[in-house]
């Protein structure tokens, strides 16, 4: 329970930093590994997905690649990798402003007693692959624009068309313009219609299912690709697992492996957002833990689950 | 759970005399055990509440009166208790450890049959009122699958009975879906049997009530890991859960826990001091308990329990190491002080088949042999209900699914296709407390547990723990043999 | 799991190819110009040189009197970061300007607004174009050497019809205020423009002042609305700077007068370009030139050049957008409810129970 409280507090602090930090001089740079949306005026950092699409879409010629432009783009990639190494998927579970919005909606749903929608595990596995397709789309879309296959207005296709953060996050800065349908030309109509339809559908789905969009989030996919260099990880001691299924049940992403794994310590799947809910809910001492470079940050505790003990170090 | 024999329901003639004799012996067993427990040095005043619950020999009606809910009989614990509460029933787990009850039905049942099931059938013979109540029978082991037919040999059921089919494969999502549908089906049965329709508010209230009970039991378990709670008291307390309203039971447990903390485990101070003097006098690794042996369940252990006051080195019925600051790592040698951090090498973990009142034979024998039971995974004891039910979806559906899953996946009974995770409980306890060995309690006729014992032995010994399997039933004929084996087991723990 | 690992490796490789090689393979021809970044966002590579949309027309303009104007050429960026802009000083009728000279001041973007009021300048360069016709270098680049690989294209080549060519560069985000003068058909005319340069070199430093303004007639130019970039539907106001007498002003381009509305302003005039269907059909970075031509006493002209984009907000419909979003929300929510109801019916059917 304590871990959940800490996490909620950290999420709120990061929400303020990433959404409003720019107004106070905070700038975490253009390679933030979560939905720090550049469409929010005064944001404290920029989501790397926009930059990634920009570098691919705006184009870096071969001649300039080895110069300043290329170095800068490479620098941003290294900055992104560095930030991922720092917090890993905790960017998703502890820092992402859009993730916090999802969690708010989930809290409200639970208070109202609205049942959660369950997706069968097999279907969930298939849906999980969509995030990699969207990541590919982030790369391919701008290239199609450069080739002239797509209208120039599609220059940042994922952000403009598919990211529900684009209309929703600026709302918290008082900006409603991204909820407008743009009838200027066919391309803008398609772009804005797509964005608004996806946002509306996502909102409804987020009510029914916690962290709905994270299943499809290309940022999660990108961070997961860097898993080999990420020190922060969810680890399991299978010898201490009772198999009660609590971890899987409380998991917002319905990760099965955290319960069913009996041999390996690595249970951080592609869908895991490192929220730590499984660690908080697990009633077996030491069965699950969040570790940084092999050192335990927080681990499960039977007493903790029942409010009897402090979190284990 | 036991029911009082009602004179009006007993058959006449020879059979009547058999029944009367069985009822009398059964009463004797219960009384003897209660007297033995009451005479213990560590019987704190807070434990009188639990003793009184057994002493009145409760029936389903009396339990219904205490809880204010209509009683429903259950066997095994896969059916969520909260569901019963939410729908206006008080679930009463029917069990019996009375040898007389088991003996009553033995002539008409297979010889090598689970003595607990025999005893339950015997209880139903002695208390016809049991057959009138609604029954929910999870079909776990083969004996329970055939329970209905076995009961049919003795007159069948008079009230409604619901069979709950328990999927044996826990990891399969289809099995989990089937189990959830079984739980819904059970809910429908309870409603048809006169209960309330299932509502979210009621279920939420039941879950919260149960959380309190779990919390209380967890705090008791923590003290047990420190060696402050003897196994007999722990089993008595858990067995009393179904005999009273959960709020009162929780209060009773909290009271006992507070008393233990206040006294620093001084419940058995005199006896413990005496025991340690005897240990010191006779050298390390030697059990100083000389008297009070040979007393199994239902025997005259009361005498032995009354002895062993201050200065006595007798281990008769006395808990080991229950002195001030008692428990692992604490103690005092004769005339001197042992550093409180010194680990005690004789902590064991009890696993295997359940132990039911009044048959605390194994628990008493372990104590007499000088083995301190620091934990167990018996479904009659620490595994009485799931350790924790984390609810992420607090809708009615979500609560039901959470409960169903916790009771199903969290159940480590060997009837499931894989129960290798039972070893995790032992591992966890060994991390929390100085457990040096595992005692596997096997009831004759229980094949799943027997099969489990082989796998568990391999794992446990691989971790460096000692392992001892004892196979017994409800009779007292093997008491001396068991005690000898347990006493021989104890010195191996310190090696 | 092995398959996932293989997919992940392949995706990594694909991303690398796209990013490293795919973009490079598309260099030279086929590129489209850089997008100016949205407000507050990181700078896009390149400078704010806009694309020219619409078909160019034959030389012409206001039939009464040819005027002098700045035209934007191909923007580029040096390998080490400075943004480079190309400007052509041409006459609207194609006649070669004579006795041409130029002056520009380069202001760090942050201080641009203050400079308009204070009259101060960070860098002022002045020079004369050597030779009357053809390209001539004005010298005085802000930073870096002059290299001209044109990377970003305007969609169409900037025309150099015997006019003068000026190259302005900046290593930092800066606004270049450029004035030029020449004799057009014997009459002294002036041209003015201002352009953004998103220079981003590692060693970029704020320019320093080293010259004085020549005191030529010039405008103060401002726009209303969202100052993202000049857009149709926004009102642009020209007022005369000190010493300038403002004559009648008309908005022109090669195809003729620019459709729009005029209104009076204090000591000036305002013009609101009408929405252009051709521009609207193009991307947001597409532009069309607008030359605000004012007549000076003495018959010459003072022309302000700016490039207008399509309006970012004129085509937006907020209520319709909210409605669409709400409809998607409702449809999805209904789908979830229907899906659940089916499940509930099934559960209620199976709640019949199993009795012995």
* Within a domain: A310: no
Q: What is the mean pLDDT of residues B92-112?
A: 91
Q: Which residue from C186, C182, C197, C156 is spatially nearest to C303, judged by alpha carbons?
A: C182
Looking at the structure, tell me whether residues A45 and A159 fall in a common domain. yes
**Crossing angle, helix B13-38 and helix B231-239, to 10 degrees?**
130
Q: Which of residues 135-164 of A touch C (CB under 8 A)?
A: 135-136, 139-140, 143, 145-148, 151-153, 155
pLDDT band at C326 (very low <50, low <70, confident <90, very high): very high
In whole numbers, what is the pLDDT of chain C averaged over residues? 67
Q: Measure the N-to-C terminal CA separation of chain A; round to a whole number of Å.
A: 15
With contacts defined as CB-CB under 8 Å, which chain B residues touch C347?
A: 181, 184
Chains that touch B (3 or more CB pairs under 8 A): A, C
Judged by average pLDDT, the poorest of B245-254, C166-175, C232-241 is C166-175
Report the pLDDT value the prediction gives residue C347, as an integer from 0 to 100: 67
Cβ of C11 within 8 Å of Cβ of A167? The answer is no
pLDDT band at C162 (very low <50, low <70, confident <90, very high): low
pLDDT value at B282 more than 60: no
CA–CA gap between residue C337 and residue C315 (Å, rounded) = 35
Q: What percent of chain A has pLDDT over 90?
A: 71
Closest chain A residue to C51, measured at CA: A152
* Within a domain: A137: yes
Last residue of a domain, one of A199, A222, A245: A222
Higher-confidence residue of B172 and A202: namely A202
Looking at the structure, tell me whether residues A213 and A260 fall in a common domain. no
Residue among B394, B402, B423 whose CB faces A249 most closely = B402
In whole angstroms, how far apart are CA A45 and each of A50, A174, A220, C272, C354? 11, 18, 18, 36, 60
How many domains is chain A partitioned into structurally? 2
Quick one: residue C230, left, alpha or beta (phi over 0 = left, psi -120 to 50 = alpha)? beta
Q: What is the mean pLDDT of residues B108-119?
A: 90
Phi (first) and psi of residue B425, to 5 degrees = -65, -40
Across B285-289, B312-316, C67-71, C145-149, which has the greatest mean pLDDT? C67-71
Last residue of a domain, one of A160, A190, A222: A222
CA–CA gap between residue A158 and residue A50 (Å, rounded) = 8
Report the pLDDT value the prediction gives residue C65, as an integer from 0 to 100: 77
Residue C231 is classified by DSSP as B
Residue B4 is classified by DSSP as P
* Within a domain: A301: yes
Most A-contacting residue of B390, B391, B463 (CB-CB within 10 A), to test interface? B390
User: Which spans in chain C are helix H?
Assistant: 2-16, 23-25, 112-118, 277-281, 318-350
Looking at the structure, tell me whether residues A40 and A83 fall in a common domain. yes
Report the pLDDT value the prediction gives residue C64, as an integer from 0 to 100: 62
Q: Which residue from B334, B344, B335, B294 is spatially nearest to B315, judged by alpha carbons?
A: B294
pLDDT value at B125 more than 50: yes
pLDDT value at B314 more than 50: no
Q: Quick check: B134 and B465 in contact, CB under 8 A?
A: no
Please provide the size of chain B in residues. Answer: 495
Report the pLDDT value the prediction gives residue B494, as an integer from 0 to 100: 74
C338 touching A, CB under 8 A?
A: no
* Within a domain: A265: yes
* Within a domain: A312: no
Judged by average pLDDT, the poorest of B2-6, B64-68, B255-259, B472-476 is B2-6
Residue C341 is classified by DSSP as H
Q: What is the mean pLDDT of residues B279-296?
A: 35
Phi (first) and psi of residue A290, to 5 degrees = -100, 125
Report the pLDDT value the prediction gives residue A308, as an integer from 0 to 100: 66
Q: Quick check: C305 and C193 in contact, CB under 8 A?
A: yes
Report the pLDDT value the prediction gives residue B183, as an integer from 0 to 100: 94
pLDDT band at A311 (very low <50, low <70, confident <90, very high): very low
Q: Quick check: B373 and B366 in contact, CB under 8 A?
A: yes
Closest chain B residue to C347, measured at CA: B181
Looking at the structure, tell me whether residues A167 and A279 fall in a common domain. no
CA–CA gap between residue A135 and residue A142 (Å, rounded) = 12
Chains that touch C (3 or more CB pairs under 8 A): A, B
* Within a domain: A158: yes
Q: What is the mean pLDDT of residues B316-334?
A: 32
Report the pLDDT value the prediction gives residue B316, as an integer from 0 to 100: 27
Q: What is the mean pLDDT of residues B259-264?
A: 88
Higher-confidence residue of B24 and B272: namely B24
Looking at the structure, tell me whether residues A107 and A197 fall in a common domain. yes
Q: Quick check: A231 and A293 in contact, CB under 8 A?
A: yes
Looking at the structure, tell me whether residues A235 and A213 fall in a common domain. no
Q: What percent of chain C has pLDDT over 90?
A: 18
Cβ of B395 within 8 Å of Cβ of A262? The answer is no
Q: What is the mean pLDDT of residues C38-53?
A: 32
- If DSSP codes are grouped into helix, strand and coil, which group holds residue B374? strand
Looking at the structure, tell me whether residues A218 and A284 fall in a common domain. no
Report the pLDDT value the prediction gives residue C327, as an integer from 0 to 100: 98
pLDDT value at C180 more than 80: yes
Higher-confidence residue of C200 and B462: namely B462
Cβ of A146 within 8 Å of Cβ of C331? The answer is no
Judged by average pLDDT, the poorest of C4-18, C68-82, C212-226 is C4-18
Closest chain C residue to A195, measured at CA: C325
User: Which spans in chain A are helix H?
Assistant: 2-20, 48-58, 62-65, 68-87, 90, 97-112, 121-128, 130-146, 157, 165-168, 186-208, 218-225, 246-250, 257-260, 277-281, 302-305
pLDDT in tens, A32-51: 999 999 999 999 999 999 98
Q: Chain C residues with CB-CB distance to B under 8 A?
A: 347, 350-356
Report the pLDDT value the prediction gives residue B299, as an integer from 0 to 100: 34
Looking at the structure, tell me whether residues A78 and A191 fall in a common domain. yes
Provide the 10 A C-beta neighbour count for residue B453: 23
Q: Which domains does chain B have, with CATH numbers?
A: 7-213 (3.40.50.11890)
Most B-contacting residue of A242, A250, A301 (CB-CB within 10 A), to test interface? A242
Q: What is the mean pLDDT of residues B52-64?
A: 88
pLDDT value at C117 more than 80: no
Size of interface A-C (CB pairs under 8 A): 196
Closest chain B residue to C355, measured at CA: B162
| CATH for A260 | 3.30.70
Q: What is the mean pLDDT of residues C265-275?
A: 85
Residue among C39, C314, C332 whose CB faces A205 most closely = C332
Quick one: residue C155, left, alpha or beta (phi over 0 = left, psi -120 to 50 = alpha)? left
Judged by average pLDDT, the poorest of A210-224, B25-39, B392-406 is B392-406
Report the pLDDT value the prediction gives residue C169, as an integer from 0 to 100: 73
Residue among C347, C350, C355 whose CB faces B189 most closely = C355
pLDDT value at B264 more than 70: yes
Phi (first) and psi of residue B90, to 5 degrees = -110, 110
Q: Quick check: A215 and A206 in contact, CB under 8 A?
A: no
pLDDT value at C167 more than 90: no
Report the pLDDT value the prediction gives residue C46, as an integer from 0 to 100: 32
* Within a domain: A79: yes
pLDDT in tens, A110-161: 989 888 988 888 899 899 999 999 999 998 888 888 788 888 888 889 999 9
Dihedral sign from CA coordinates of B183, B184, B188, B190: positive
Looking at the structure, tell me whether residues A83 and A163 fall in a common domain. yes
Report the pLDDT value the prediction gives residue A59, as an integer from 0 to 100: 55
A200 touching C, CB under 8 A?
A: yes
pLDDT value at A1 more than 80: no
Higher-confidence residue of B300 and B49: namely B49
Looking at the structure, tell me whether residues A201 and A287 fall in a common domain. no
Across A309-313, B14-18, B179-183, C227-231, which has the greatest mean pLDDT? B179-183
Q: Which residue from B154, B87, B104, B150 is spatially nearest to B2, judged by alpha carbons?
A: B104
For A199, residues 6+ apart whose C-beta sits below 8 A from its C-beta are A164, A166, A167, A168, C325, C328
Which residues share a beta bridge with A299? A289, A312
pLDDT band at C98 (very low <50, low <70, confident <90, very high): confident
Across B39-43, B329-333, B414-418, which has the greatest mean pLDDT? B39-43
- If DSSP codes are grouped into helix, strand and coil, which group holds residue C103? strand
Report the pLDDT value the prediction gives residue A152, as an integer from 0 to 100: 85
Q: Quick check: A95 and A47 in contact, CB under 8 A?
A: no
Judged by average pLDDT, the poorest of A229-243, B49-63, B416-430, C189-203 is C189-203
Looking at the structure, tell me whether residues A186 and A286 fall in a common domain. no
Cβ of C318 within 8 Å of Cβ of A30? The answer is no
Per DSSP, the residues of B241-274 read GGGS-HHHHHHHHHHHHHHHHHHTSGGGHHHHHH
Provide the 10 A C-beta neighbour count for residue A285: 22
pLDDT value at B45 more than 80: yes
For B294, residues 6+ apart whose C-beta sits below 8 A from its C-beta are B479, B480, B483
Q: In what order do the strands lie in the sheet with C236-240?
A: C219-223, C236-240, C268-273, C260-265
Q: Which of residues 264-293 of C touch A (CB under 8 A)?
A: 280-286
HSE (side-chain half, CA atoms, 13 Å) at A17: 16
A132 touching C, CB under 8 A?
A: yes
Residue among B137, B163, B188 whose CB faces C351 most closely = B188
With contacts defined as CB-CB under 8 Å, which chain B residues touch A281?
A: 388, 390, 392
For C298, residues 6+ apart whose C-beta sits below 8 A from its C-beta are C187, C188
Q: Chain B residues with CB-CB distance to A under 8 A?
A: 170-171, 173, 176, 200, 211, 214-215, 218-219, 222, 386-390, 392-398, 401-402, 405-406, 409-410, 412, 420-421, 423-425, 427-428, 431-432
Residue B39 is classified by DSSP as T
CA–CA gap between residue B248 and residue B190 (Å, rounded) = 24
Last residue of a domain, one of A175, A196, A222: A222
In whole numbers, what is the pLDDT of chain B averaged over residues? 81
Phi (first) and psi of residue B414, to 5 degrees = -70, -5
CA–CA gap between residue B208 and residue B205 (Å, rounded) = 5
Judged by average pLDDT, the poorest of B319-323, B427-431, C239-243 is B319-323
Across B249-253, B432-436, C164-168, which has the greatest mean pLDDT? B249-253
A237: containing domain: 231-305
Higher-confidence residue of B66 and C12: namely B66
Judged by average pLDDT, the poorest of A219-223, B400-404, B428-432 is B428-432
pLDDT value at C283 more than 60: yes
Judged by average pLDDT, the poorest of A164-173, B159-168, C70-79, C137-146 is C137-146
Q: Quick check: A267 and A255 in contact, CB under 8 A?
A: yes
* Within a domain: A313: no
CA–CA gap between residue B442 and residue B454 (Å, rounded) = 12
Residue B322 is classified by DSSP as -
pLDDT value at C62 more than 70: no
pLDDT value at C33 more than 80: no
B124 touching C, CB under 8 A?
A: no
Q: Which of residues 16-35 of C touch A (CB under 8 A)?
A: 18-20, 22-28, 30-32, 34-35
Report the pLDDT value the prediction gives residue A196, as an integer from 0 to 100: 97
Looking at the structure, tell me whether residues A169 and A294 fall in a common domain. no
CA–CA gap between residue C40 and residue A22 (Å, rounded) = 9
Give the closest-approach CA distance of A181 to chain C in angstroms: 4
Q: What percent of chain B has pLDDT over 70?
A: 81
Judged by average pLDDT, the poorest of A19-28, B52-61, B191-200, B286-295 is B286-295
Give the closest-approach CA distance of A211 to chain B in angstroms: 13
Q: What percent of chain B has pLDDT over 90?
A: 53
B192 touching C, CB under 8 A?
A: yes
Report the pLDDT value the prediction gives residue B283, as an integer from 0 to 100: 39
Cβ of A115 within 8 Å of Cβ of B432? The answer is no
Higher-confidence residue of A62 and A209: namely A209
pLDDT value at B202 more than 80: yes
Q: What is the mean pLDDT of residues C10-20?
A: 52
């Amino acid at each position: 329970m304590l871990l959940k409280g800490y996490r909620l507090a950290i999420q709120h602090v990061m929400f303020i930093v990433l959404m409003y930090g720019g107004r106070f001089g905070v700038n975490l740079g253009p390679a933030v590994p979560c939905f720090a949306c550049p469409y929010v005026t005064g944001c404290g950092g920029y989501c790397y997905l926009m930059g990634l699409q920009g570098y691919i879409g705006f184009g870096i010629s071969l001649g300039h690649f080895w110069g300043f432009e290329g170095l800068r783009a490479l620098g941003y990639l290294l900055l992104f990798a560095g930030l991922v190494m720092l917090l890993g998927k905790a960017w998703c579970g502890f820092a992402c402003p859009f993730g916090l919005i999802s969690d708010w909606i989930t809290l409200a749903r639970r208070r109202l007693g609205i049942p959660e929608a369950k997706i069968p595990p097999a279907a969930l596995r298939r849906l999980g692959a969509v995030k990699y397709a969207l990541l590919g789309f982030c790369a391919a879309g701008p290239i199609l624009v450069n080739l002239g296959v797509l209208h120039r207005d599609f220059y940042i296709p994922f952000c403009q068309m598919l990211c529900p953060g684009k209309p929703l996050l600026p709302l918290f800065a008082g900006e409603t313009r991204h909820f407008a349908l743009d009838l200027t030309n066919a391309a803008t109509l398609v772009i804005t219609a797509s964005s608004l339809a996806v946002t509306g559908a996502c909102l409804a789905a987020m009510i029914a299912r916690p962290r709905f969009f994270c299943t499809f989030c290309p940022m999660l996919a990108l961070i997961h690709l860097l898993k080999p260099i990420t020190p922060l990880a969810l680890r399991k001691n299978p010898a201490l697992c009772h198999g009660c299924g609590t971890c899987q049940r409380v998991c917002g992403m319905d990760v099965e492996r955290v319960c069913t794994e009996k041999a390996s310590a690595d249970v951080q799947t592609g869908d895991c957002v490192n929220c730590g809910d499984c660690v908080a809910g697990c009633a077996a001492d030491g069965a699950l833990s969040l570790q940084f470079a092999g050192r335990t940050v927080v681990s499960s505790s039977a007493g903790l689950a029942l409010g009897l003990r402090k979190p284990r170090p | 759970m036991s029911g009082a024999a009602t004179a009006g329901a007993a058959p006449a003639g020879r059979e009547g005399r058999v029944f009367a004799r069985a009822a009398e012996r059964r009463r004797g067993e219960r009384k003897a055990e209660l007297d033995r427990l009451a005479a213990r040095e560590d019987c704190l005043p807070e434990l009188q509440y639990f003793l009184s619950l057994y002493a009145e020999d409760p029936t389903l009606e009396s339990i219904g009166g205490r809880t204010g809910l209509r009683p429903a009989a259950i066997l095994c614990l896969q059916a969520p208790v909260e569901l019963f509460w939410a729908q206006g029933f008080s679930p009463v787990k029917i069990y019996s450890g009375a040898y007389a009850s088991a003996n009553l039905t033995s002539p008409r049942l297979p010889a090598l049959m689970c003595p607990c099931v025999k005893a339950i059938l015997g209880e139903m013979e002695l208390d016809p009122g049991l057959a009138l109540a609604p029954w929910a029978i999870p079909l776990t082991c083969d004996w329970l699958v055939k329970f209905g037919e076995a009961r049919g040999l003795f007159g069948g059921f008079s009230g409604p009975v619901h069979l709950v089919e328990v999927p044996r494969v826990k990891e399969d999502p289809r099995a989990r879906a089937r189990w959830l549908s079984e739980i819904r089906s059970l809910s429908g049965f309870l409603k048809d049997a006169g209960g309330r329709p299932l509502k979210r508010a009621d279920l939420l209230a039941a879950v919260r009530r149960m959380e309190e009970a779990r919390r209380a039991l967890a705090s008791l378990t923590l003290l047990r890991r420190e060696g402050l709670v003897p196994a007999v008291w722990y089993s008595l307390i858990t067995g009393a859960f179904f005999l009273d309203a959960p709020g009162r039971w929780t209060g009773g447990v909290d009271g006992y826990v507070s008393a233990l903390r206040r006294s620093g485990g001084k419940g058995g101070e005199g006896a413990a001091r005496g025991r340690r003097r005897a240990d010191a006098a006779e050298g390390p690794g030697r059990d100083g308990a000389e008297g009070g042996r040979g007393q199994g369940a239902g025997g005259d252990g009361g005498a032995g329990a009354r002895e062993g006051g201050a200065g006595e080195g007798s281990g008769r019925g006395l808990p080991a190491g229950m002195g001030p600051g008692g428990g692992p790592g604490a103690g005092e040698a004769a005339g001197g002080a042992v550093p409180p951090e010194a680990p005690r090498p004789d902590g064991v973990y009890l696993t295997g088949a359940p132990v039911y009142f009044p048959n605390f034979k194994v628990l008493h024998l372990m104590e007499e042999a000088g083995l301190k039971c620091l934990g167990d995974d018996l479904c009659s004891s620490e595994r009485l209900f799931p350790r924790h039910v984390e609810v992420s979806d607090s809708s009615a559906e979500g609560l039901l699914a959470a409960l169903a899953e916790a009771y199903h996946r969290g159940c480590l009974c060997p009837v499931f296709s894989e129960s290798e995770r039972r070893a995790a409980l032992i591992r966890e306890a060994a991390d929390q407390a100085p457990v040096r060995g595992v005692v596997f309690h096997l009831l004759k006729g229980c094949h799943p547990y027997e099969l489990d014992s082989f796998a568990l032995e391999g794992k446990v010994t691989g971790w460096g723990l000692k392992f001892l399997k004892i196979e017994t039933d409800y009779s007292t004929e093997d008491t001396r043999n068991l005690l000898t084996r347990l006493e021989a087991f104890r010195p191996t723990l310190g090696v | 799991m092995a398959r996932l690992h293989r997919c992940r490796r392949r995706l990594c490789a694909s991303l690398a190819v796209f990013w490293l090689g795919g973009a490079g393979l598309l260099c030279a021809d086929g590129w489209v110009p850089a997008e100016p970044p949205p407000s507050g966002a990181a700078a896009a590579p390149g400078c704010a040189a806009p694309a020219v949309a619409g078909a160019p027309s034959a030389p012409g303009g206001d039939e009464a009197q040819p005027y002098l104007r700045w035209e934007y050429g191909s923007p580029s960026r040096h390998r080490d970061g400075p943004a480079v802009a190309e400007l052509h000083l041409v006459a609207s009728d194609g006649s070669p300007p004579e006795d041409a000279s130029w002056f520009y001041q380069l202001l760090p973007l942050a201080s641009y607004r203050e400079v308009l009021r204070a009259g101060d300048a960070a860098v002022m360069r002045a020079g004369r174009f050597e030779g009357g016709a053809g390209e001539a270098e004005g010298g005085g680049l802000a930073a870096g050497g002059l290299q001209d690989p044109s990377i970003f294209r305007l969609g169409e080549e900037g025309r150099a019809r015997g006019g003068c060519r000026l190259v302005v560069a900046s290593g930092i985000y800066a606004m270049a205020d450029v004035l030029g003068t020449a004799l057009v058909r014997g009459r002294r005319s002036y041209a003015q423009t201002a352009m953004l340069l998103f220079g981003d070199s590692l060693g970029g430093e704020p320019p320093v002042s080293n010259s004085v303004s020549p005191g030529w007639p010039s405008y103060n130019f401002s726009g209303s609305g969202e100052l993202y970039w000049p857009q149709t539907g926004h009102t642009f106001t020209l007022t005369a700077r000190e010493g300038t007498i403002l004559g009648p002003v008309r908005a022109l381009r090669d195809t003729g007068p620019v459709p729009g509305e005029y209104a009076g302003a204090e000591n000036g005039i305002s013009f609101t370009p009408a929405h252009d269907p051709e521009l609207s059909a193009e991307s947001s970075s597409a532009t069309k030139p607008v030359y605000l031509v004012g007549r000076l006493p003495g018959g010459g002209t003072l022309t302000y050049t700016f490039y207008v984009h399509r309006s970012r907000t004129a085509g937006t419909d907020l209520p319709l957008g909210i409605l669409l979003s709400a409809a998607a929300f409702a449809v999805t929510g209904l789908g979830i409810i229907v899906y659940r109801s089916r499940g509930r019916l099934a559960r209620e059917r199976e709640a019949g129970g199993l009795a012995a």
